[in-house]
Structure 1
Amino acid sequence: MVALLADPPPDPPLASRLEAAFARQPFVALLGIRLTLVEPGHVVMEMAPQPQLTQQLGALHAGVTTTLADTAAGFAAMTLLDEGDDLVSVEFKVNLMAPGRGRHFRADARVLKAGRTLTTVEARAQALQDDGQWTDYAVFLGTMITVRPRG
């Protein structure tokens, strides 16, 4: 179940709408990504480490990190859409600042600027270290385009 922060007031329809959209993403389910926080303009997604998702040096594969960050960023943008609208990524850049190593992973995504058609988003990929601290290991900056139903 998605957590909603108390300030602003919880918006169960928003959480339900995002959960339904998330359920239509089998690829992220395959990676074990979970939607853990939803509030307007802000989403957090988490995943446990899995050996089959690492690269040759044992760090989380860059493609998995990018998927985690892109998905969280897209859902952060989706929190500000009108019901019935959808979106897709049209452009992004990922800076991998350190190997993705940790006990758990998350992407904390926020909308930087929401427009009628284009939304700019940022996500920080973070790894939980043995000392209990979350450290940034990648930064994602992207643009999402709103897709409106035809008719």
Structure 2
Amino acid sequence: MNDETHARIARSFEAQGLMATLGARLAWVGDGEVHIAMPNSPQVSQQHGYVHAGAVTSIVDSACGYAALSRATPEFEVVSAEFKINLMRPAIGTHFLAVGKVQNAGRLLTVCSGEVRAFLSKGASEYKVVALMQATMVLVRA
């Protein structure tokens, strides 16, 4: 992946108000794979103290979308057409990492998979997968 594609993804990410609201940051960008990190905070909690499913879904949807954008030519942007998410366990942890990966990039549709990993302590390498996503992204003219 070239520097311009990375810069285009970073600019797009910075323009998302929701990611700023969630405290999320772009953690890693590669060819067909993007990671988005989010800390646990009271702003992303639900009534039982877990991270809200909406926050978990939002970061993995964006990770999948940016993974698809990493394969798109500059005249295209990406929007979500469809996704399915499996919430596998309560989202408990100090921080979370959404990993989006391209599975197949077609002419206008890109199928991605994603997962959200929960880490129990800062600097930890062990994690639990709390959510899995399958998503279809659509390329639209910029």
TM-score range, shorter chain: over 0.9
Supply the AA of the counterpart residue of 2:97.
R
For residue 57 of structure 1, report the CA deviation from its aligned partner.
Answer: 1.1
**1:98-148: per-residue Cα shift (whole Å, max 9, x none)?**
000111101011001000111001110110024641210100111000001
Partner SS for 2:78? strand
* Counterpart position of 2:26: 35
1:14-62 per-residue CA deviation (whole Å, 9 max, x = no partner) reads: 2111111112211111111101101110000001111121111111000
Mapping 1:58-137, distance limit 5 Å: 58-130=49-121, 132-137=125-130
Q: How does 1:132-151 map to 2 (within 5 A)?
A: 132-149=125-142
Specify every segment of 5 or more residues in structure 2 that has no aligned partner in the other structure, as ranges.
Answer: none
Q: Give me the CA root mean square deviation.
A: 1.2
Equivalent position to 2:11, from 5, 13, 20: 20
Q: Which amino acid aligns with 2:37?
A: E
**TM-score, normalised via structure 2 length:** 0.94
Greater Cα radius of gyration, structure 1 or 2: 1
| TM-score, structure 1 normalization | 0.88
The count of residues paired between Structure 1 and Structure 2 equals 140
Fraction of identical pairs, as percent: 36
